[in-house]
Structure 1
Amino acid sequence: MAEYQTLLFATDFSEGATQAVEHARKLARLTGARLHLLHVITELADKRRRRIPADVIDTFIREITRHAEEDMQSFKEKYFADAESLGFEVTYEVSIGTGHEDILKAAEAIQADLIILGTHGRTGIEKVLVGSTAERVVRHSPIPVLTVRNDKPRD
């Protein structure tokens, strides 16, 4: 049986990520592993930002990061406020990067034993055009990945 000491739960705060919460909570509770929450801000990695003045970009990055930190704190409080009483620790970080690459880097940095993430359940042309962070993580991860599909219909 695999022994889990550190779990990485990557979230984009979407419905798919929310559905993965219960799996992350249960695994952390059953194993006593530390649960590390990660949110990667991917919008800022776009090449088009070169056309925007540096001071505007810096202000934008600070604001986006501040909001993401607030969102992460709210996410942690909403879903993991009782973690200590359930016997596991929760830590978190917000980074700016390219999604799957930063998830894998974070997993390596914290020596995660398992990555947990929700998926959007995209199919067909939408998947081809938008891509899938979860799929890339699964394909390139040297450690096991638990994906939880969002089966709720989208508008």
Structure 2
Amino acid sequence: MRKLHIILAAINMSILDDEVMKRAMFTAKETNAQLHFIHTIDIPLMDIEITSQYLGKKIDKDAIKKKIVHKINALNESKSVEYIVNITIGDASEQVMHMAEKIHADLIILGSHSKAKIEDYYLGSTVQKIAEESGRPILVIKNSFQGAYKNILAPTDFSSSSKKSVLFTQIAFKSSPIILIHAYKSLDDFTMEFYTLKSNNEEEYPDFLGRSYADIFKQDVGIRHIDMIKSFSSINKSLLEYIQNKQSDLIVLGSSGSDIVGSFLSSTASYLLRNTFTDVLIYIPLNQE
């Protein structure tokens, strides 16, 4: 199981920067992790070779770093968190992933977009690319910082990657409660008849509904309860509706791993990442985990 020793927080001079900084400093303090910030002067990758020398002369990276340090210090009044600020030039997603690899980051924290309004939940292309290609856990910030998470929801399919995502969440946010949820399709009359089940008494068949897997999963992660959601239509939409009704402040999603091409996010994880209004932790296990 991956531990949390090094955090990389990406800031891009957007409305969500303060929230990213606050969450990064809070998490670093809670876990005693080393904290790095990265700000990238975003230049399209195809233009870098032509303009990098010119830009290096024209852009005052020290002045930009000084401005960012001043902003961080204003939020870190007690000076309780030490940090390192990195200024880079290039494609934002590539620079974040390169820095994460260089410092062996255990978690990447970044805002969901660079739009002007925090109420705009559009998922930016930089976040999407890092989620798909970084091969590391990422925490996507969509809302204002309110201290420790108070209502973490972890949708699970009882898989190994789902279990690892919950265990990592317990390490990263040790003071926050986690609620497990599992959505399953309601059995139609034909299916019930095919499996010789009584259509009015599904509860008698826990193995068929995955309840025995739920008991094993709960024991493995040390959480006593799991909410079982019966879906009569789309499981993705049922999960999203449940998350919105519960007013969660963080949802936890697991992926099936990564290779040299990228991460494997399930259709459900991708759907919730794009559509939920809450912060999202995507846990991506290394190949050797």
TM-score, normalised to structure 1, is 0.73
RMSD, matched Cα: 2.9
Measured against aligned partners, the alpha-carbon deviations of 1:14-49 in whole angstroms (never above 9, x if no partner) come to: 112222121111001111211111111222645398
Aligned length: 137
User: Given the alignment of the two structures, is residue 96 of structure 1 paired with residue 86 of structure 2, yes or no?
Assistant: no
Could you tell me which runs of 5 or more consecutive residues in structure 2 were left unpaired when the two chains were aligned: 114-119, 145-289
Name the residue aligned to 1:3: 3
TM-score of the pair, normalised by structure 2:
0.41
Per the alignment, residue 72 of structure 2 pairs with 79
Deviations 1:84-115 (A, max 9, x none): 841x3201211122111211111010011100
8 Å CA contact retained: 2:7, 2:108:
yes
- 1:116-131 matched pairs, under 5 angstroms: 116-120=109-113, 121=120, 123=122
Higher helix proportion (structure 1 or 2): 1
Distance in 2 (CA, whole Å) between partners of 1:111 and 1:48 is 25
Q: Secondary structure at the match of 1:15?
A: coil
Name the counterpart of 1:142.
135
> Identity rate of aligned residues, in percent?
27
Question: Could you tell me how far apart the structure 1 residues matched to 2:27 and 2:48 are?
Answer: 40
Amino acid at match of 2:41: I
**Larger radius of gyration between Structure 1 and Structure 2:** 2
| Amino acid corresponding to residue 125 of structure 2 in structure 1 | S
**Contact 1:45–1:96 at 8 Å: present in 2 too?**
no
Superposed structure 1 runs of 4+ greater than 6 Å apart:
none
Structure possessing the higher relative contact order (Cα contacts under 8 Å, 6 or more residues apart) = 1
Unaligned runs of 5+ in 1: none
User: Where does residue 100 of structure 2 map in the other structure?
Assistant: 107
Is 1:22 matched up with 2:25? no
